Structure 1
Amino acid sequence: METDIAVRHHEPWNKGKLTGQKAPLRLQDIWAIRVRLQLKEHPRDLALFNLAIDSKLRACDLMNLRVRDVSHGERIATRTIILQQKTQRPVQFEITEPTRTSLMNWVKVAGLRSEDHLFPSRIDGSPHLSTRQYARIVHKWVSEIGLDTTCYGTHTMRRTKPTLIYRRTKNLRAVQILLGHTKLESTVRYLGVEVDDALEMAEQTEV
């Protein structure tokens, strides 16, 4: 008697997707998204977008933030320190004035308390937005300004400000500190600066 054995084929998670480093946003992209969120009056998404750019945090750390992590009493802090989950090392970041304004507005609109998660989930049993939900939100942002969503993701938000700072200053050490990397080599690979510099040099020597 023959026995039929069902063989399950598990498709890889990245089948049909482009993998690798996600592109950072350009200044015009940042402002395009920010203006759209302001016009649509989406206080949570505006606060999330601004803080993601300023903080340069990984998705897991950003989603786990509580109101008290970015505030002093009823005021949003100008600077704060977060313990990174992945490395268990502290990282400090500045909260710019536009971000402080959007955060204060979001906290007020949502009625959040000091101990509440900054970006709570609407799903029962989930205290805050998941990294998957955050990824969908980022894809929506970039899609609405006409960018290819396969080239952008949550790491786009982490890479954007350091990339802009590096292009302006060429100071890798400063970017390393901002990202909380232990090795400078990690920062070089993360930013892909060697490739960027080579392309920049090639453009300057075109005849």
Structure 2
Amino acid sequence: MPRVQLPAVTPKRRAWNKGRIVGQKRSLLPKQVWAIRARLEMARNLRDLLLFNVAIDSKLRGCDLVKMSVSDLVRDDRVRERVSVIQSKTRRPVQFELSENIRKTIAEWIKSAEMSGCRFMFPSRFHDRLHISTRQYGRLVRDWVAAIGLEPSGYGTHSLRRTKAAEIYRKTGNLKAVQLLLGHSKVDSSVRYLGVELEDALSIAEQIDI
């Protein structure tokens, strides 16, 4: 009896996003920023407080944020008011300001025992790593938003990158400024990143009379 050759069956791989909510993550509202900040201040968790505040102010991607060194923020024992960082994704420089309160926190943090001998601003608590990983950072963000009653699946590290830029856009409608602050090469990228809708654009246009 001749043998019948059956077609090979390739097992289906589980989709990477099965069971996950994907898509653009929400930015935080000002009241939510203050709620997270207050919790970290009460806990006296200087590293995480600084990580959160610098993430909001710098608008950096997580991969650039976690690798920030002490020398990026401090020069000649003084905390810089303005900082410039070369983005690893685009190799383009992006600048940001540090508020007075954040500069005070940085000065306190670099003098703490936890920072003794550390080159990076956000050292990992795992001994085999010099700084926290982007995965660790992502877990921290989920913990922060969950602590104030938000659904963690709707937020991520890009929520912090987007927060201040979204607020600047809401208050000024200046996409060019947002483009420069986010380090995007094109305004179109900022439009997509912020999720600017036609209604937003029309509302801005209505305010301009020429």
TM-score of the superposed pair, with normalisation by structure 2: 0.87
Alpha-carbon distance in 1 for matches of 2:78, 2:199: 39
The equivalent of 2:4 in structure 1 is none
Which piece of structure 1 moves more, 133-142 or 188-197? Answer: 188-197
Task: Evaluate the alpha carbon distance shift between residue 112 and residue 161 of structure 1 in structure 2; reply closer, same or farther with a 3 A threshold.
Answer: farther
**Structure 2 residue 81 is the aligned partner of structure 1 residue 111:** no
Determine which of 9, 14, 21 is the counterpart of 1:11. Answer: 14
Alpha-carbon distance in 2 for matches of 1:131, 1:92: 21
Could you tell me which runs of 5 or more consecutive residues in structure 1 were left unpaired when the two chains were aligned.
202-207
Aligned-pair distance for 1:163?
0.3
Determine which of 172, 177, 190 is the counterpart of 2:175. Answer: 172
Alpha-carbon distance in 2 for matches of 1:39, 1:103: 17
Aligned-pair distance for 1:10?
3.4
Rg larger in 1 or in 2?
Answer: 2
SS in 2 for 1:129: coil
Alpha-carbon distance in 2 for matches of 1:9, 1:122: 38
Tell me the percent identity.
Answer: 49
Alpha-carbon distance in 2 for matches of 1:189, 1:87: 17
SS in 1 for 2:111: helix
TM-score of the superposed pair, with normalisation by structure 1: 0.88
The 4+ residue runs of structure 1 with deviation greater than 4 A are 5-9, 198-201
Task: Evaluate the alpha carbon distance shift between residue 82 and residue 112 of structure 1 in structure 2; reply closer, same or farther with a 3 A threshold.
Answer: farther
Aligned-pair distance for 1:124?
3.1
The equivalent of 2:86 in structure 1 is 83
**Structure 2 residue 192 is the aligned partner of structure 1 residue 189:** yes
Alpha-carbon distance in 2 for matches of 1:167, 1:130: 31
